Amino acid sequence: MIKNKPFYERCIEWRERHISEKQLVLILSFVVGILSALAATLLKTLIHGIQYLVSHFLIADGGAIWYLICPMIGIALAAIFVRYIVKDDISHGITKILYAIAQRKSIIKIHNTWSSIVGSALTIGFGGSVGAEAPIVLTGSAIGSNLAKLFRLNQKTMMLMIGCGAAGAIGGIFEAPIAGLVFTLEVLMMDLTMTSVAPLLISSVTATVIAYILNGMDPMFLLETTEPFAINRIPWYILLGVVCGFASLYFIRAMNGLEQWFKRAVQIWWIKILIGGVTLGLLIYLFPPLYGEGYDVIIQLINGNSTSAFVSSPIASIGNGTWLIISYFTLIVLLKIVASVATNGGGGVGGIFAPSLFMGALVGFITARILNVTGIVVPEANFALVGMAGLMSGVMHAPLTGIFLIAELTGGYHLFLPLMIVSISSFLIIKLFEQHSLYAMRLAQKGELITHNKDRSILTLLKMDNMLETDLITLHPEMTLGELVKVIANNKRNIFPVVDNHNHFKGILLLDEVRNIMFQPRLYDRFTVQDLMNSPQALLTHDMTMDKVMEVFEDTGAWNLPVVDEHKKYLGFVSKSKIFESYRHVLVHFSEE
């Protein structure tokens, strides 16, 4: 009988007999690390290959006019690829991971193991002003999710494998193993035990080692020289952290607002390509540092070579005064968001890792240059370096990721203290204004976000449709007390919703309110339901999140509340007791190790 089973089924049964789940998780975390590193290397190779072809065969031969044309070509190719081949939305990669963890039982579609690589390579290779890191994190997480699904692992283990994929992707593309681990804990907000940390470390370290073998061990942003940290500059690093915090606020709100506007204002896909491509092309023509990821500009700034990033612009023909340079880079900071939204909104595929690093380096440089102009001497290269950590900490709400990632990216471990000062200052500022990171904001607005707050996370898993009680007998306002008594006699509930002929909700009638008159037949024709009904303490709507529902219950002190749709049509009741019962059931599952 066993021989007749499919080969795959026999493999699963052999694994279950000979390899425990804990052993399998460690093995898979190693495999995920290798595959994530290979995917990251492939993506970087494709991007650099396309950039080489574009710069040597188009821009070199045709001149600067190709700066206007190439970004639109990349956006168009990526949009066509997504629309006709993938046939699925692959933008906002990390938001999709958070959604999969919160709402999709940690299942990520298998096409995400390769589609983001192709889409982002086309976008960035032709000059799209976004980053490759979010697409590769989605790729790594998809690898982890689908491997776990292949071996029929449970949901909690699948979530862990998603984390392994994310950690491996960060380790592979940045060669930053600690940042890979910390990113998973901070940004993906996984509530993991110490036992779960080991697979994350295995994936992150494995991916980093593979990346070292394939790409060498030099940091991505190699520092030539930096000034040592001086204690008397701590106030200025705090100032930079505050500036980064407000720059992060601009980043989050401008990015979110422009994305929503673009999505509402332009509905036809090819017009999106046209508008996004033309906008990006013009911006790159006037401000060449906006071309691609911008990593060359970062290297120039953290090595004190800001002039090289300025002279490539047509604006440099005006002059090279200090305030002109400051104004030029300030404009780039403001317009980087526009360039990124034009890229992704037009149909391109990319993330905000690179834009946040790029803007952080510029903010650090601008702050240092202004301080130097006013007579306060600070190292511009150091400020550009720690500015990257400050902006990343604010945008992602992840100060530890900012600290360790920049230290590992640059080899600037001797600047750990200023990295910490700037990161935490930026984080504290942004938390005053925004509760969630840009990644989590989209899900939080829909009530679909899982966080480290276990109570709120469990409420997020509860859905209104599952809480709705629809077995209550409805009454009509014109019903008499006599007719009501007959209904009560055949019903065990003590609450009755009142609706009109079109099912519009009118009020509620409680058994306690009529108990003193229901046994007086002489009153049966005197009173109607409309005379006896009351307004509820509050109305719930069908699209409310469960944590909002609980807030309403707490504010009103009610035990049962009616639910209506947007037209105030009655849908059912929600009781606090049912929420508590479901909460306890989910809590048992949620807390299982």
Least confident of 92-106, 121-135, 176-190, 376-390: 92-106
pLDDT in tens, 326-354: 999 999 999 999 999 999 999 999 999 99
pLDDT in tens, 118-169: 999 999 999 999 999 999 999 999 999 999 999 888 888 888 999 999 999 9
Give the DSSP H/E element, type plus range, for residue 541: strand 540-541
Domain ranges within the chain, ordered by starting residue: 2-215, 231-449, 456-590
* 346, 75 Cβ separation under 8 angstroms: yes
pLDDT in tens, 59-110: 666 566 777 888 999 999 999 999 999 999 888 888 888 888 776 677 899 9
Confidence of residue 461 (pLDDT cuts 50, 70, 90): low
Q: Is the pLDDT of residue 471 over 70?
A: yes
Confidence of residue 593 (pLDDT cuts 50, 70, 90): very low
**242 token code pair:** 């505050």
One DSSP character per residue, 205-249 reads HHHHHHHHHHH-SS-SS--S--PPP-GGGHHHHHHHHHHHHHHHH
Q: Is the pLDDT of residue 31 over 90?
A: yes
Partnered with residue 563 across adjacent β-strands are 540, 572
Hey, what CATH class is 2-215 in?
mainly alpha
Q: What is the CATH topology of the domain spanning 231-449?
A: Clc chloride channel (1.10.3080)
Mean pLDDT of the chain: 86
Residue-level pLDDT at 122:
95
| Average pLDDT score over residue span 283-310 | 87
Q: Give the span between the Cα atoms of 591 and 581, in whole angstroms.
A: 16
* 151, 12 Cβ separation under 8 angstroms: yes
456-590 placed in CATH 3.10.580.10: yes
**557 token code pair:** 């002190």
Share of the chain above pLDDT 90, in %: 47
Partnered with residue 499 across adjacent β-strands are 505
Distances from the Cα of 414 to the Cα of 218, 229, 417, angstroms: 17, 8, 8
Ranges assigned E (strand) in 419-526: 495-499, 505-510
Radius of gyration of the chain (CA): 29
> What are the residues whose beta carbons fall under 8 Å from the beta carbon of 21, sequence distance 6 or more?
153, 157
* 352, 438 Cβ separation under 8 angstroms: yes
Q: Which residue has the tokens 């090289």?
A: 308
pLDDT in tens, 350-375: 999 999 999 999 999 999 999 999 99
Least confident of 43-52, 76-85, 221-230, 305-314: 305-314
Q: Give the span between the Cα atoms of 132 and 93, in whole angstroms.
A: 10
Least confident of 61-70, 406-415, 526-535: 61-70
Q: Judge if 2-215 and 231-449 fold alike in CATH terms.
A: yes
Q: Is the pLDDT of residue 300 over 60?
A: yes
* 571, 470 Cβ separation under 8 angstroms: yes
Distances from the Cα of 149 to the Cα of 12, 39, 94, 105, 153, angstroms: 12, 19, 20, 11, 6
For residue 574, which phi and psi values (nearest 5 degrees)? -120, 130
| Average pLDDT score over residue span 565-572 | 88
Of 111 and 305, more confident: 111
Pairing of the two strands 540-541 and 560-564: parallel
| Average pLDDT score over residue span 552-566 | 85
